Structure 1
Amino acid sequence: MGALQATVFFFIFLKACCEITDAENAEWKTGTATYSKETEGSIITEGACGYGDLHKATYGKHSAGLSTILFNRGSTCGACYELRCVDHILWCLQGSPSVILTATDFCPPNYGLSADYGGWCNMPKEHFEMSEAAFAEIAVRKADIVPVQYRRVKCDRSGGLRFSLSGNSRFFQVLISNVGLDGEVVAVKVKGSRTGWITMARNWGQNWQCNVNLKGQPIAFEVTANSGRTLASYNVAPANWQFGQTFEGKQF
């Protein structure tokens, strides 16, 4: 290996190590958590991030609704958090075990109730609404609300990024899920075989849109994560793709 190649490899390796270390050493912050009772263990089947059936999206019981300040108008959708119950001898499980959650929904404020009793998602509360199954991994089910510590962590995903297509001949939309790294998509571009790179706008959650007709063209996507890393997946969808289909690209 030449000196230049060795230097480049070293810096790539160093950057990857730093990203992992930053995730593992993220500062613990304080918040609260509750749970909602749902069948099949999910908090919802269709949340504010647009993932649809959370079991099919692979997030399942480890999904969470975030309060206003954490949800950040949907930009945090897909982000991963580590939670542990703390400072409550009756409700927290011994040893303070932790659980990894994915942000999939918005926990709306209720300003008709006190922030300490029912209005847990009011500004500026940092609150997580969990599934009952995930809550039971860190606390006793009888608890209404528990104090927690939380931190952002790296998302461990199986397979590549998933691109679910929807729209019509004048409107193109893609839902991006199963995102690794920090899990948070901040910018998306799309390219057909007869176009250049087209910048997409956030519609809601992790749904991205543009007003362009890409029918009959193989499609490529360029996705930028919150960390600043950009990943391009070429020929994700073949020329005969249809709305309603989901395709898999590369992974961070």
Structure 2
Amino acid sequence: MGLAAKSYSSLLCMLVLLTTICYSQSNYVSSRATFYQSPDNLGTPTGACGYGEFGRKVNGANVAGVSMLYRNGSGCGACYQVRCKIPKICSDDGVKVVITDYEEGDRTDFILSTRAYAKLAVPNIASKLFPFGVVDVEYQRIPCRYPGYNLKIKVHEYSKFPGYLAVLLLYQAGIYDITAVEVWQEDDQEWKSMRRAFGTVWDLAGPPSGPLSFRAQVSGSGGRKWVQMTDVVPSEWKAGVVYDTPIDQLS
């Protein structure tokens, strides 16, 4: 009886363990990745998401351009864990990257910054990975985390006070996509939709006057919802300036 109970217990543990392993593996999607070269190994300030200089250095410059995952710009700011599959060269964990650009490669989902590509490898072995150029990888979506940073709104350099306003959201923590942005029109007592100009840049001709309140529609596996930011941009806003919000995570 005791032996049977032990055997049953061991079998149960093995089944739980196997289920956990299979579930973990099923979260990953098989694909391919390559890299782009830059003189400083950082990201590019001209990425299609519109992040500018932020897109060069965010997440320690572990950034990537994508094609299918770009999703007309709603994929900008998403985070992924990417790991390659070459024995004795690729690390177990791979690298966490932030999407900052649209890029197309040779059947690749990811075109990584040089720094991010190097982190696919076991420490001090990156020199053996680069000659491959394109490698088989597996990836999964993960929450973005920016300890010490709240969500920020940047008034894009294209903006012209007071007649044209373009904004983008930085430090997009969590695992939701931003699918719409609206600004509060005090005179009409209604939310006014902003247009996705490109990437993650939202614009509006003839924006409201006074301190500006925004709300962003976010969508993910938990459905859709609105996240509101009240009076976060001053009435005399300036192009190129970044304004803080009280939101720490889109969740």
Of structures 1 and 2, the larger Rg is shown by: 2
The correspondence of residues 55-70 of structure 1 with structure 2, limited to 5 A, is 58-67=58-67, 69-70=68-69
Picking from 129, 146, 158, the partner of 1:157 is 146
Picking from 162, 171, 186, the partner of 2:164 is 171
Picking from 178, 191, 194, the partner of 2:184 is 191
Match status 1:106 vs 2:102: yes
For 1:231 and 1:57, the matched residues in 2 are separated by 26
Match status 1:148 vs 2:137: yes
**Offset of residue 201 of structure 1:** 1.7
RMSD of aligned C-alpha atoms? 2.3
For 1:219 and 1:25, the matched residues in 2 are separated by 45
* Count of aligned pairs between the two proteins: 210
**Partner SS, residue 92 of structure 2:** coil
Which one-letter code corresponds to 2:76 in the other structure?
C
Match status 1:238 vs 2:238: no
Q: Higher helix fraction: Structure 1 or Structure 2?
A: 2
> Kindly, what percent of the aligned residue pairs are identical?
25
Match status 1:130 vs 2:112: yes
Query: TM-score, normalising length from structure 2?
Result: 0.75
Q: 1:200 to 1:220 in 2, by over 3 A?
A: same
Picking from 200, 208, 214, the partner of 2:208 is 214
For 2:98 and 2:225, the matched residues in 1 are separated by 20
For 2:232 and 2:176, the matched residues in 1 are separated by 19
Which one-letter code corresponds to 2:203 in the other structure?
Q
For 2:55 and 2:36, the matched residues in 1 are separated by 16
- 5+ residue gaps, structure 1: 1-23, 109-118
User: Contact between 1:31 and 1:127, CA under 8 Å: does it hold in 2?
Assistant: yes
